[in-house]
Amino acid sequence: MKCTACQMENIDGALFCEECGAKLEAVTFGKDAADEMSNEIATLMLTSSDGSMLEIPAKDEVVIGREDPISDVFPDLDLTELGGMDKGVSRKHAVIHRSGPNYTVEDMGSTNGTYINKKKLRPHTPQTIKPGDELRFGKLALMLQAA
């Protein structure tokens, strides 16, 4: 398999060029039940730099934000414990949608924005997310992982 960027010949099946690191072939992302050989069923979770883990509830819509009983805001995933207040997480910051095996995240017009792998999302425009992505709500960065 020849790298189109640097013309280096790579072994078949290689994902990235050994010489220049370029992606070698067009791929599609997929994940179904047969994709994993696991001894436990996988769900998604968010991990913070201090190792705290938050499991994403098995719902079709999961609101992420900061709990505020005074304004009657109770998000499904409350980021207060992870320093959400200081790190600029809005009360209703973003929502994760689930559709079968696929997930998207949508910024709900938050003050400090939502980022996937350091790219800022346009408000109210869902973007696909996958395990290994870094999600950032304001300044709070979390890694999306399969549990």
Nearer to another protein, 25 or 61 (CB): 25
Residues 13-52 that bind another protein (CB under 8 A): 13-16, 19-23, 25-31, 34-40, 42, 47-52
Among 117, 122, 123, 124, binds another protein (CB under 8 A): 117
Please say whether the dihedral angle defined by the alpha carbons of residues 11, 15, 18 and 24, taken in this order, is positive or negative: positive
Binding of another protein by 69 (CB under 8 A): no
> Where is 45: in which H helix or E strand?
strand 44-47
Neighbouring residues of 30: CB distance < 8 A, sequence distance ≥ 6: none
Question: In this structure, is the dihedral angle defined by the CA atoms of residues 57, 59, 63 and 66, taken in order, positive or negative?
Answer: negative
Residues found near another protein in the complex (CB under 8 A): 11-16, 19-23, 25-31, 34-40, 42, 47-53, 117-119, 130-134, 141-143, 146-147
